[in-house]
Amino acid sequence: MILIVDFGSQYNQLIARRVRENHVYCQIEPPDISIDAIKALDPEGIILSGGPASIYSKGAPRVDRGIFNLGIPVLGICYGLHYMIDSLDGNVIGSQKREYGFAELLIKKQKGMFAGVSKKTQCWMSHGDSIGKLPSGFTATASTANTSIAAAEDIKRKFYALQFHPEVVHTKEGKKMLANFLFNICRCKKSWSMKSFINDAVEEIRRQVGSEKVILGLSGGVDSSVAAVLLNKAIGKQLTCVFVDNGVLRENEAERVIEMFSKHLRINLRFARSGKIFLKRLKGVTDPEKKRKIIGRTFIEVFDKEAQKIKGVRFLAQGTLYPDLIESRSAFGGPSAVIKSHHNVGGLPKKMNLKLVEPLKHLFKDEVRLLGKELGLADDVVWRQPFPGPGLAVRIIGEVTPRRLAVLRQADTILLEEIRAQHLYYKLWQSFAVLLPIKSVGVMGDQRTYENILAIRAVTSDDAMTADWAQLPHDILARISNRIINEVRGVNRVVYDISSKPPSTIEWE
Ligand code: XMP
């Protein structure tokens, strides 16, 4: 494995992704990790990430210097490089000017990190400080017009330092450089795969829960579905999944989950049909945050009640992913503004006095999908578009009523039918309909109509952090619009949302 020390760079998850794409396992750890903990991980190499701090600023993050005595390769990137140079006997000079953006990298020797890399290649810079004096044993291996030492190495001790970011796509041959580090320098083996993960995970789950009972909130989305199947493989009937119908699900959603998990996969499933209570509490509520909070709270209540019916549950399983884990313990992120309070099961373990089982907590989303496939889950589950916890309630702007829900469900079904028919479903990150609380005038069969407006939202994205509106072909948009206006009573106008995230968000509320 490779240890990545997290100095707070916005790119460090990307470093981890790049390593794992090479089938090498890696873990991101905060800089206060002890040297004994590092030894216990027994890494083949260490990558020191970039970060926003300047090495000489107060409170600049540092990791135990003992890493340089372990006899394993160390790669420092940007701030990681500054830390390395400063910890050894070199020095870093602060600069008023930031170098940010593309630069042409001139490579001195096409060896080591740069084996097989072009002599002139594009790299991505983002730094203030730079190297003043190299530590003894180091030689400079590359430069750019603004930075005389853009890369350096000490071959004997296997220390490598890059001022630019090899992990971002703007560094054209960055992947090659990282692969050189992994395989030529650290001598890693390509042993990380979802097949190997399953065996370890099954063993780990069994060790953690013993003969105790585990409960899991199944939403039908990728993460909880994959977690359910993995746990089922590990502990079978000790697992009970709870599916809560909150009354704001898509058409046939509940039936689909029951069919798949209970009938097909034979997983213990409790089905809480609780739509009525959710809708009752949502009555008259129009504020988006209020809606989200009501649904979150009610979910916890219903789930808790279901759990009480199963005697002796000790564990709560969740489909937490690696980015959540990294972000939740980041010492650098700080509290960010609450844009939307996400509905999740965050309040559950404390309330129910349960211990957590999080078998996916070291995986990225794309790895979870591969795992799901490996475990035999259908494409329809593995590649399902995300659906928010508060469901259609945040896609009905204004009050959620049974009538408005019925209108949105019908429109949403038509939209998805068309998107699937055109083989666009898996190409889009999300595609859905939003019902607006605005009426407009129309004409249908010589009659005046005064009905609702429905918005179509379709976006492409890699991670939901940013998203672009999808440039759907006009004939498909026309077909969707025609069908919705003709088939859904209560809608006489369809509009297409052409906003990206940021500054908009994917969901409307
Ligand atoms: P926004 O609207 O913030 O959404 O751009 C980003 C992604 O998160 C999904 N989403 C949620 N998922 N619980 C969830 O599990 C929620 O409360 C929630 N709210 C939004 C949204 O569909 C998009 O994929």
At 334, the pLDDT band (50, 70, 90 cuts) reads very low
Residue 336 in this model has a pLDDT that exceeds 60: no
Q: Is the peptide bond before 503 cis (omega within 30 degrees of 0)?
A: yes
Residue 289 in this model has a pLDDT that exceeds 60: yes
Mean local confidence (pLDDT), 247-266: 94
- In short, whether 507's Cβ falls inside 6 Å of ligand 1 is yes
- In short, whether 221's Cβ falls inside 6 Å of ligand 1 is no
In the block, residue with structure tokens 């083996």: 189
| Whole-number pLDDT of residue 170 | 92
- Cα distance between residue 304 and residue 294, in whole Å: 15
Say which CATH number the domain at 136 has: 3.40.50.880
- In short, whether 386's Cβ falls inside 6 Å of ligand 1 is yes
In a domain, residue 389? The reply is no
**Same domain flag for 433 and 329:** no
CA distances, 486 to each of 110, 446, 448, 482, 492 (Å): 65, 14, 15, 6, 8
At 345, the pLDDT band (50, 70, 90 cuts) reads low
At 326, the pLDDT band (50, 70, 90 cuts) reads confident
- In short, whether 506's Cβ falls inside 6 Å of ligand 1 is yes
**Same domain flag for 403 and 340:** no
Give the ligand 1 atom nearest the CA of 507: 2
Mean local confidence (pLDDT), 462-472: 91
Say which CATH number the domain at 461 has: 3.30.300.10
* Cα of 482 from ligand 1 centre, angstroms: 28
Chain centre to alpha carbon of residue 414 = 29
Q: For the beta carbon of residue 120, count every other beta carbon within 10 angstroms.
A: 9
Give which of 369, 390, 368, 348 is closest to 246, Cα–Cα.
390
Give the ligand 1 atom nearest the CA of 343: 17
Mean local confidence (pLDDT), 321-338: 67
Mean local confidence (pLDDT), 167-174: 94
Domain boundary among 185, 210, 237: 185
| Cβ(184)–Cβ(111) below 8 Å | no
**Same domain flag for 35 and 180:** yes
**H helix or E strand, kind and range, residue 368:** helix 365-374
Residue 330 in this model has a pLDDT that exceeds 90: no
In a domain, residue 155? The reply is yes
**Same domain flag for 163 and 231:** no
* Cα of 390 from ligand 1 centre, angstroms: 9
In a domain, residue 48? The reply is yes
| Whole-number pLDDT of residue 325 | 83
Domain boundary among 382, 408, 427: 382
**Same domain flag for 156 and 204:** no
- In short, whether 73's Cβ falls inside 6 Å of ligand 1 is no
Tokens encoding 202:
């099954």
Q: What is the pLDDT of residues 302-322, one digit of tens each?
A: 999 999 999 999 999 999 999
Domain boundary among 185, 214, 245: 185
**Same domain flag for 372 and 406:** no
- In short, whether 466's Cβ falls inside 6 Å of ligand 1 is no
**Same domain flag for 244 and 156:** no
Find all residues with CB under 8 Å of 166, minimum gap 6, and list them.
Answer: 18, 77, 123, 174, 175, 177, 178
Mean local confidence (pLDDT), 12-36: 95
| Whole-number pLDDT of residue 341 | 77
- In short, whether 505's Cβ falls inside 6 Å of ligand 1 is yes
Which of 225, 429, 506, 508 has the most ligand 1 atoms within 8 A of CB, as the residue to mutate? 506
* Number of Cα atoms under 13 Å in the Cβ half of residue 153: 18
Domain that holds residue 262: 194-382
CA distances, 149 to each of 47, 52, 130 (Å): 19, 20, 8
Query: pTM here?
Result: 0.88
Q: For the beta carbon of residue 6, count every other beta carbon within 10 angstroms.
A: 28
Using H for helix, E for strand and C for coil, what is the string for 190-226?
Answer: CCCCHHHHHHHHHHHHHHHHCCCEEEEECCCCHHHHH
In the block, residue with structure tokens 């083949």: 44
Which of 248, 341, 342, 384 has the most ligand 1 atoms within 8 A of CB, as the residue to mutate? 342
Question: Number of structural domains, the chain?
Answer: 3
Mean local confidence (pLDDT), 368-392: 95
Residue positions annotated with a catalytic role: 78, 165, 167
Mean local confidence (pLDDT), 90-94: 93
Backbone angles phi, psi at 112, to 5 degrees: 55, -125
**Same domain flag for 115 and 141:** yes
